[in-house]
Chain A
Amino acid sequence: MGGNQSIPKITAQDRAILDLKLQRDKLKQYQKKIQTVLDREHEIAKAQLAAGRKDRAIVALRRRKYQESLLQKTDTQLETLEQLVSTIEFSLVEVSVLHGLKQGNEVLKEIHKQMNVESVEKLMEETAEAQAYQREIDEMLTTTLTLDEEESVQLELRALQAEQEPETAPVKLPTVPTSEPIVTEPDEHIAIPEQQRAKVALEA
């Protein structure tokens, strides 16, 4: 059973945290004690008032007020202590995060050693060369083929063109008129607006 090996050693930091937490517990217990005294003084004051002894009641209330101020002071101290405890715990977390980053970084470096830039460039070059070589071979093969079939392909193309020509004959457009079109009445209409326009221009 190698179970005991998984328990980490107790470091000085752990002891420091434990001390802080123990102090915090002491403060909490002190607060509880003060609270009980407070409540008791309150009861005493009530009892004294009921018995009609106002001066004793005032004394009890004054004691209670003092206890309350003590309680408040302990509260602030408790807050400071708890802040310190959580800061320490947080910094421990940060340390482990940093440790994780460092380890990840080292793993990455190892991988990069195997995969350096020069070898990648060489690999890419060789791949490009191989591809070009392959293309050459392809072209050679295709040229040998088309020497035989190029003639028949051209014949087919001409036959198809002949078939299509009647369907796609150029559109016959009307010829451009050579003389002016003959119109009679519209002349007067055209003439009048021109005169009106002329008049308007002069008057301005």
Chain B
Amino acid sequence: MARLTPTGYLLPSIHSVPPFFTEQPNPTTQATLTEQWTRLILSYARHRRLFFIRIEDAETTGGDWDEVLRNEQINRRVMPAHLSSLLATLVAKNLAVYEPPKQTRSVLLFWRSPEEWGETLHEWATSTGQLNTILTFYEIEDPPVPSPLSGIPTALLRKAIASLSKTGRAQIIGAADGEGVRLFAGTGK
């Protein structure tokens, strides 16, 4: 019985099974569980356009992750320790990075890889006619017209630009109190 959440996300039926929320002693079952959880977290993040998940989302209520990390009907929730190991798995599989670096309480999720974000950025700039112009980071993250890049965190944007500059399609320009980027046409081949 897949459940539909108030935000319109369809939770898989395994989410209504109590053992899903506890770490299993058997390694095979635990592996399956972890696999399901990582897929669920990324898919939910993609649906709600959430970029970060933190340990404190399991510790407190009222955050963006409540629909996934808790199931009131069966009175179960993901424990912080369980979430911590899930985050570690995500980072190990290169599906997330610890951001800010050098800590383990919050990760930046890659429900879309930085290369793909780079492509999205390039396509958006091409379609809005903003190639070969100087763009500020703020302009890209918070444009007046909502774009596929609205709300992207600066760290992820930087990675996307780095992947674009490897194929010669972006150039970062630094100024005294901020940074900008200029995008060029190109196929990236």
Contact = CB atoms under 8 A, between A and B. Distances in A.
Interface band, chain A: 10 to 19
Contacts of A89: 133
Given A10-B173, A25-B139, A18 B178 contact: yes
Contacts of A3: 167-168, 186
A4 interface: yes
A15 B168 contact: no
Given A14-B182, A15-B173, A21 B168 contact: no
Nearest to B180: A18
Interface string A18-62: 110110010011000000000000000000000000000000000
Contacts of B16: none
B136 A10 contact: no
A21 B171 contact: no
Interface band, chain B: 10 to 19
A111 interface: no
Interface string A79-98: 00000000001000000000
Contact of B136 (A6, A14, A15, A22): A22
Contacts, number: 45
Name the residue among A10, A22, A25 with the largest chain B CB count within 10 angstroms. A22
B72 interface: no
B134 A21 contact: yes
Contact of B178 (A4, A25, A28): A25
Nearest to B182: A14
Interface in B81-139: 133-136, 138-139
A7 interface: yes
A79 to B, nearest CB: 14
A19 B168 contact: no
Contact of A14 (B167, B168, B173): B173
A29 B133 CA distance: 21
Interface of A: 3-4, 6-7, 10, 14-15, 17-19, 21-22, 25, 28-29, 89
Interface of B: 133-136, 138-139, 167-168, 171, 173, 175-178, 180, 182, 184, 186
Q: Which 5 A-B pairs have the closest CB atoms?
A: A3-B168, A22-B178, A25-B138, A18-B180, A17-B134
9 contacts: A3-B186, A10-B171, A10-B173, A14-B182, A17-B133, A18-B175, A22-B138, A22-B177, A25-B138
